[in-house]
Amino acid sequence: MNLLPHPLDSVHAYVEHFSREPLPVLRHTVRELEALRANLDRVSSKQITRVVLGDPLMTMRLLTHVERHRRQSQNHDITTIERAIMMLGVEPFFSIFHDMPTVEGVLRAHPRALVGVLKVIARARRAADLARDWAIARHDLDVQEITVAALLREAAEILCWLHAPGLTGQVVALQDADRSLRSADTQRRVFGVTAAEIQLGLIRAWHLPLLLVELLDESLRDTPRVRTIQLAAAFSRHVARGWDDPALPDDIAAIEALLHIGREALLQRLDVPEDFRARFLPEPAAE
C-alpha cells in the first residue's frame, strides 16, 4: 500500500488515494471466514453476518461490492449485512471474498499504526454494540441499520491509519497532549480536512447507501436514530480514554435523555465500574 507521507490538498484527493487499492480486513476475519467456508453446507447467512459485523473494513467491502454490482431493476439500497449476504447467496459470497489483504499485513512495518488502527476498530465495535442495544430499547424499526452505521462512523479514521499512519499519529499525539482539542480541529490542522469530510466523500464515491449519509449527518443530531449513533460513538471514544474523562458526565446525561431510563439503571446498563458510579450520580437535593 502506498502510504501518504504528507497532507493532500483536498477531500477529493484523499478519496481518490484511498480508493486506489482494495480494502484490507482483519486477519481474524479472514480466519473466521475460512473456518466457515470449510463447512459450507452448514453455514447460514446469520453466521456470516456475525463475522462481517465484527470488522468495519469487511462491512465496507461487502456494502461497496453489493452497490457496485446492483442490478438496474434493484431500486432500493441494501442497508444491512444480512440482506446483502442473502442477495449474493452464501456460496457466491465465499467465491467473491477470498484471498483478501489483511490490516496486519499492510501495517507490518508500522507497529504503532497497527496498534492505533486496532484501537479505533475496537472503539467502533463497542459503539456498534451500544447503538444496537439502545436501538432495541427504543424499539427502532431496523436495528441492524443502526448497528452498521455506528460501526462505520469511524471508517475514515480507520482508513487514515491505514493510508497515512504518520499523519494520523500526529493527530493522536496532539490530542493526547491536550485533551481539550476537538478531533475535527486537530484533523484539519494535520490533514487540512476533517475525517468527517473524507468519510462523506468516500460514501458518495463508493456509492454506499444514502441512508448512511443521513445516519451520519451531524446536522440531523436531533433525530433519535442519528442521536443514537452519535452518542454511541462519543461515549465509546471518551470511555476509551478512561472513566475519568471529563466528557463522560455529559454523555451519560444525554444517553439518559435518549433512552428515558433512570440513572442507576443506565449506569448498570453501561457497565460503569463501581468505583466511578458516584461520579455520574446526580447531587442529592438540598433539604
The distance in angstroms from the start CA to the end CA of the chain is 65
* Max Cα-Cα span within the chain: 69
Domain ranges of the chain: 22-103
- Number of neighbouring beta carbons within 10 Å of residue 224: 14
Mean pLDDT score, 222-230:
91
**Percent of the chain, pLDDT > 70?**
95
The model's pLDDT over 79-108, given as tens digits with 9 standing for 90+, comes to 789 889 998 999 999 999 999 999 999 999
The model's pLDDT over 119-141, given as tens digits with 9 standing for 90+, comes to 999 999 999 999 999 999 999 98
The chain-wide mean pLDDT, for the chain, equals 90
Q: Which three cell numbers stand for residue 127?
A: 459503539
Mean pLDDT score, 183-211:
88
Q: How many angstroms separate the CA atoms of 146 and 140, rounded?
A: 9
Q: What's the pLDDT score for residue 18?
A: 93
Instruction: Specify the pTM.
Output: 0.90
Q: What's the pLDDT score for residue 284?
A: 62
Bridge partners (DSSP) listed for residue 102? 25
Q: What's the pLDDT score for residue 75?
A: 53
- Ranges 48-57, 172-181, 240-249: which has the least confidence: 172-181
- Number of neighbouring beta carbons within 10 Å of residue 286: 4
Q: What's the pLDDT score for residue 100?
A: 95
Q: What's the pLDDT score for residue 164?
A: 94
The model's pLDDT over 15-31, given as tens digits with 9 standing for 90+, comes to 999 998 889 999 999 99
The model's pLDDT over 257-270, given as tens digits with 9 standing for 90+, comes to 999 999 999 999 99
Top-ranked range on mean pLDDT: pick from 57-66, 177-186, 197-206: 57-66
Q: What's the pLDDT score for residue 213?
A: 76
Whether 232 and 137 have beta carbons less than 8 Å apart is answered as: no
Confidence grade of residue 285 (pLDDT, cut at 50, 70, 90):
low
Q: What's the pLDDT score for residue 234?
A: 93
Mean pLDDT score, 187-196:
94
Bridge partners (DSSP) listed for residue 25? 102
Confidence grade of residue 200 (pLDDT, cut at 50, 70, 90):
confident
Contacts of 286 (CB under 8 A, 6+ apart): none
Distance set, CA 177 to CA 50, 127, 141, 173, 237 (Å): 37, 24, 42, 6, 16
Q: How many angstroms separate the CA atoms of 187 and 256, rounded?
A: 30
